[in-house]
Amino acid sequence: MPVNNPKVMMLLLEFHPIFTGHGIYLQQLSHYLKKLGCDVSVLAADFHSLPNHEIVNDLNVYRFQFSHNEKYWELKLAWRVINFLFRNRNCYDILHIHGHLDIYGLLTIFNMLLGKHTISQMVLLGADDPMTLMGTYKFMRMRYKVLALMDRFLCISKVLGESYQRAGLPMGKLTYIPQGVDVERFAPVISKEEKETLKKSLYLADFSEIVIFVGAIVERKGVDWLIDAWCSVQKKRPHAWLMLVGQDVFDGNDVNENQLNSFVDTIRKIISENRLNVYFAGKQLGVNKFFQCADVFVLPSRKEGFGNVILEGMACGLPVVVTYMDGVSLETVVPGKNGYIVNNVSELAHSLTTLLSDKSLSVSMGKAGREMAVETFSMNNIAERYAGVYRDILGESN
């Protein structure tokens, strides 16, 4: 197989139609990888009788049955994945695993026996980074002796790489590749008139000032903190609106459906009781248009793997206000230059009020963010780095 055309199977549990930021990002990344000659497909879990195979946005998606409620579910999961990979061994050269499960050591050994390659991608500090895993599971250091047989470990943030280094794993196998953004799709509108026209088309014409949040309306995203802060913001900027763009209704496809809906109900109740200017836009396919209507982007998340929506806000020329998120926000935000990093509700409210009140500051920070997005995080450049890793691995084996 030519090194220039690697066949890559992405393995992750949650993918379309399950709504996850990382799953959406992989769809975008795969599109760019295909343009670079990579043959990309996805292997994901089937939680609720989804098709065994379908094409999602020109991407082949395969699924295996999965349920946490099954007895010995990890062993059954391992068997189903291995069975699929063996039957479809001609469809991939590299298994690119996202996240961590205990069985992935078995997959590594299986791939070695088949002459295939394995990549592990760490995506969330506190969940799948080596130091967290070693503190969570027994004999994890011994297990990493097997996992270390993988061809490469990828980290999307520097703090994940630091965890890998502290764990004493082979540094020669670690590659840092941050998230990327489509800087052509996510771009500022050209003029004030264009922005007003776009707002009218989305029925947002009456919103003179818009702070946008993008993400599922869940506790991990810090929406409760944001609503608390908005009570203070609205007192000083009574005509400003907070626009929440993301899933706000959950069904059987979502784990912990009742708990998720209960959280949204609580948020709606607080908004109603305090008569807050908050607009629920729901889950949107054309989310870039909503960014282009806004004046400030906010993400007060408790934890993120990278927070790709921060890049999308920056690419659209918006100043950004984010929480520290275990250091992840330092990947994208230079405090005072393209936005603010806040540590509590009071700082969150103050930063939002400052940016809404000082238009020249807001515009200058937005321009700085756009420049950083284009120069550092363009999806074209990020995809080339992934493709380079794949080709290096295949080249090393030839």
SS3 string, 8-36, reads EEEECCCCCCCCCHHHHHHHHHHHHHHHC
pLDDT for 2 equals: 46
Domains and CATH numbers, the chain: 7-180+379-397 (3.40.50.2000), 192-377 (3.40.50.2000)
Torsion of the alpha carbons at 141, 146, 152 and 155, rounded to the nearest 10: -30
Which of 101-105, 120-124, 194-198, 292-296 has the weakest average pLDDT?
Answer: 101-105
Q: Are 22 and 123 in contact (CB under 8 A)?
A: yes
Q: Report the candidate in 106, 70, 69 with the shortest Cα–Cα distance to residue 85.
A: 106
Strand order in the sheet with 240-245: 278-282, 240-245, 209-214, 296-299, 320-323, 339-342
Whole-model pTM: value is 0.86
- pLDDT one-digit tens code per residue, 328-384: 899 999 999 999 999 999 999 999 999 999 999 999 999 999 999 999 999 999 999
| 49 DSSP assignment | S
Q: Are 5 and 22 in contact (CB under 8 A)?
A: no
pLDDT > 60? residue 173: yes
pLDDT for 101 equals: 83
pLDDT for 309 equals: 94
Q: Per-residue confidence at 1, pLDDT binned at 50, 70, 90?
A: very low
- pLDDT one-digit tens code per residue, 237-275: 999 999 999 999 988 767 788 899 999 999 999 999 999
State the CB neighbour count (10 A cutoff) for residue 234: 20
| 215 DSSP assignment | S
For residues 251 and 82, give the distance between their C-alpha atoms in angstroms, rounded to a whole number: 30
pLDDT for 3 equals: 57
